Amino acid sequence: MRHVIVVSVLALCIAGLLQPAMLWAQARPPLIVPPPPSPLPQTAPSEKPRIHAEMATELLDRLQAVFGKLSGPADEADLGHQLSVLADTGRERLDARIITPAFHARFARVLLVVRLATITDTGQILKPIVNKEFVAFVRDVAGKTYNPRAPISDQIGMISDAVATELTRLRALARQLR
């Protein structure tokens, strides 16, 4: 019994000591955590964005060099290899965060369209896939309707106009990486 009385008195004492602390905690304003300090402004411009823009532009310059080879007789295997190397380089630069996912997606799509335009399809096996991609590409980039039944010169003109437009937009995106 004596043990119960000691424990009860101890509990009352502890409650008596805690009650003013609880009242004080309720009366004081809530603790406001100050925001973290803002990062210090850079005093010198960083070289990294400029290098990223140059590397993105270099990809486009290399693609344009491939287009230069298209104007003359081109070996399809060599052309395919060059486009594959550009695709690999683009993926490496995306993984290294040198180019943005948006830039890479558009660059890869141009590579795809150029490759589809240069594939020899003697049996017309790929024709439905190629036409579907060309229709979507011309519509998305130029806002025009690609007609697969038009004369070949008109088809080439529409594809080349859309590719040129997309390359111009990619160059603008590359400048934004600065």
CA distance 150 to 25: 81
pTM over 0.95: no
Q: What pLDDT score was predicted for residue 166?
A: 95
- Dihedral (C-alpha) 57, 63, 64, 65: value to the nearest 10 degrees? 110
Q: Which long-range CB contacts under 8 A does 139-148 form with residues at least 24 apart?
A: 141/165, 141/166, 141/169
Q: What pLDDT score was predicted for residue 65?
A: 87
- Which residues of the chain fall short of a pLDDT of 70? 1-48, 70-74, 178
pLDDT tens across 160-173, in order?
999 999 999 999 99
